[in-house]
Amino acid sequence: MKLYHLGLFLIATSFCKAQSSYQFGILPSLNINKKLPNDFKLNFELESRQELKSGLFNMPGDFNFEYELTDFSVLASKKIAINKSLALGFLARISDGKLTGRSIQQYIVTTRYPGFILSHRVSADQTFSKDEGTEYRLRYRLSSEIPLNGQSVDPKEFYINLSNEYLNSLQDNTYDLEIRVGPFLGYKFMDTKKLEFGLDYRINSFLKNSPGHRFWIGINWYHAI
Amino acid sequence: MRSICLLLILFAMSGSGFAQTKLEKEVRIRKKEVPKVALSFIDAINFTNKIKWYKETGLNKTSIEAKTKYRAKNYSIEFTLEGILEDVEIGIKQADIPQNTFDKMDELLTSEFTRYLIDKVQIQYVGAPEALLSQLRNEAPAGEVKINYELVIVAKVNRVFKKYEYLFSENGEVLRYGEIIVRNTDQIEY
């Protein structure tokens, strides 16, 4: 809880700084999950960022649609307990005509409580590109699914998906911390089809420089086959 | 962007998801939707915390359920749609089950599964409303109360983790069991 308050404090104080930059855009994603025998699962994700506006907070800016990047990732996971799983995968990023690769390792614990579900995700990734040094990241994300009716989310019901993530990154001996907050409204068409809409807010560079704020309107489709 | 939109629409329109059998669907209902006879029973217990009312739809029946926390335990009181009392379930610890009864349960579960973990234990009281009322108020028995135990366990079957619900009698005999279909939580994991 203290970490959460620290995050909110950092976000609030960072707005007060001059020269804070912002980026606003849309971030649709398609998430497909395929169950395999013996508690193995494959997760495919396609995510694309489109910028609508960017600049400095204290300066006026115009709307300008600009395609930024597309990520395609594949994760293979294995349940190691009824509520715990390990995942390994790879992400390919296409941005400015360049291809970047990222290897991913994840440990996920999902716990059901009366009235909500909590998921802890500890993740490490390494990003490789030709032009820059390898970026190493260690991430922790807490997500919760809160039904808007009853004690669990049933088909044809709305829910809230709240997430808070802390990303530590190290690249060329430079450390940075990024904090993400994601309040989303979801609708479960059936257990295998869910649609979420909300804001994905990210802040970074606030430890040593002027912070960078990024606001993405997220539209996520989850499909299990 | 155009191709992503097209993919989203295509997936939204497809109906290829595998159907899962759900054990129950709970919908929160208002107090005024609850039959008076059920409300009277709950009022007579004098619970101190807020009562939450649900309509529970299972595979074969629909019922009304009152849930609350009382003396640090989770209470669940089930009624028919007409308000007739069906049973009272209270969350307990494994250690609260008499040793002889638990030994019988364990014997059966060990014969079924190589290894299992207990996820949840509830004591179930079944009987006439006045008998259950006296039981809940810790008063002198006002009729026969049947005691059952409900266990939710996790076990690995054919290399797959599964959840099961077992209902045992007071003597440790199996009355009913079934697999719990675990809901998909991909959206908060990935």
| Pair type for strands B174-180 and B73-79 | unpaired
pLDDT of A19 over the 60 cut: yes
Asked if A222 and B11 come within 8 Å (Cβ–Cβ), the reply is no
Q: How confident is the model at residue A15 (pLDDT cuts 50, 70, 90)?
A: low
On chain B, the residues whose CB falls within 8 A of the CB of A198 are none
Q: How confident is the model at residue A10 (pLDDT cuts 50, 70, 90)?
A: low
On chain A, the residues whose CB falls within 8 A of the CB of B16 are 225
In B71-90, the residues whose Cβ lies within 8 Å of chain A are 74
Residue B13: the pLDDT is 35
User: Which of B190, B120, B112 has its CA nearest to residue B156?
Assistant: B112
Residue A207: the pLDDT is 83
Asked if B4 and A28 come within 8 Å (Cβ–Cβ), the reply is yes
Residue pLDDT, tens place only, A148-158: 988 889 889 99
Residue B10: the pLDDT is 36
Asked if B161 and A45 come within 8 Å (Cβ–Cβ), the reply is no
- B189 touching chain A per CB within 8 A: yes
Query: What residue type is assigned to position B158 of the chain?
Result: N
* Strand partners of residue A170: A136, A175
Asked if B190 and A75 come within 8 Å (Cβ–Cβ), the reply is yes
pLDDT of A11 over the 70 cut: no
CA-based nearest distance B141→chain A, Å: 32
User: Which of A7, A69, A49 has its CA nearest to residue A211?
Assistant: A7
- A203 touching chain B per CB within 8 A: no
SS (H, E, C) B1-22: CHHHHHHHHHHHHCCCCCCCCC
Asked if B4 and A30 come within 8 Å (Cβ–Cβ), the reply is yes
Nearest CA in chain A to B183: A191
Residue A169: the pLDDT is 96
Nearest CA in chain B to A39: B160
Residue B184: the pLDDT is 86
- B186 touching chain A per CB within 8 A: yes
pLDDT of A194 over the 80 cut: yes
CA-based nearest distance A50→chain B, Å: 8
Least confident of A48-57, A137-146, A188-197, B3-12: B3-12
Asked if B159 and A38 come within 8 Å (Cβ–Cβ), the reply is yes
Residue B57: the pLDDT is 86
Asked if B161 and A163 come within 8 Å (Cβ–Cβ), the reply is no
- B102 touching chain A per CB within 8 A: no
Asked if A224 and B8 come within 8 Å (Cβ–Cβ), the reply is no
Residue pLDDT, tens place only, A205-219: 888 888 999 999 999
User: Which of B8, B58, B25, B163 has its CA nearest to residue A157?
Assistant: B25
Asked if A225 and B16 come within 8 Å (Cβ–Cβ), the reply is yes
- A220 touching chain B per CB within 8 A: yes
CA-based nearest distance B132→chain A, Å: 25
Task: Please give the radius of gyration of chain B, using alpha carbons only, rounded to the nearest integer.
Answer: 20
On chain B, the residues whose CB falls within 8 A of the CB of A151 are 26, 54, 67
Residue A106 burial (CB < 10 Å; 0-12/13-18/19+)?
A: buried
Residue A174 burial (CB < 10 Å; 0-12/13-18/19+)?
A: exposed
Predicted ipTM beyond 0.90: no
> How far is the C-alpha of A48 from the C-alpha of A214, rounded, in Å?
15
Query: CA-based angle A98:A69:A160, to the nearest 5?
Result: 150
Residue pLDDT, tens place only, A24-40: 999 999 999 999 999 99
Asked if A43 and B186 come within 8 Å (Cβ–Cβ), the reply is yes
Within 10 A of B45 (CB to CB), how many other CB atoms are there?
18
Task: Please give the radius of gyration of chain A, using alpha carbons only, rounded to the nearest integer.
Answer: 18
- From the list B7, B18, B190, the residue facing A192 with the nearest CB is B18
Asked if A193 and B17 come within 8 Å (Cβ–Cβ), the reply is yes
| pTM of this structure | 0.82
- From the list A39, A186, A194, the residue facing B161 with the nearest CB is A39
pLDDT of A61 over the 50 cut: yes
> How far is the C-alpha of A45 from the C-alpha of B3, rounded, in Å?
14
Q: Do the Cβ atoms of A66 and A51 come closer than 8 Å?
A: yes
- A73 touching chain B per CB within 8 A: no
> How far is the C-alpha of A25 from the C-alpha of A66, rounded, in Å?
9
**pLDDT tens across the length of chain B (190 residues):** 444 444 333 333 333 332 234 457 888 899 999 999 999 999 998 888 999 999 988 777 899 999 999 989 999 999 999 999 999 999 999 999 999 999 999 999 999 998 999 999 999 999 999 999 998 888 877 789 999 999 999 999 998 999 999 999 999 999 999 998 888 888 888 8
- B6 touching chain A per CB within 8 A: no
Residue pLDDT, tens place only, A115-169: 899 999 999 999 998 888 999 999 999 999 999 988 889 889 999 999 999 999 9
Percentage of chain A exceeding pLDDT 90 = 72
The DSSP line for A109-177 is EEEEETTEEEEEEEEEEEEE-SSSPPEEEEEEEEEEEEESSSSS--TTEEEEEEEEEEEEEEETTEEEE
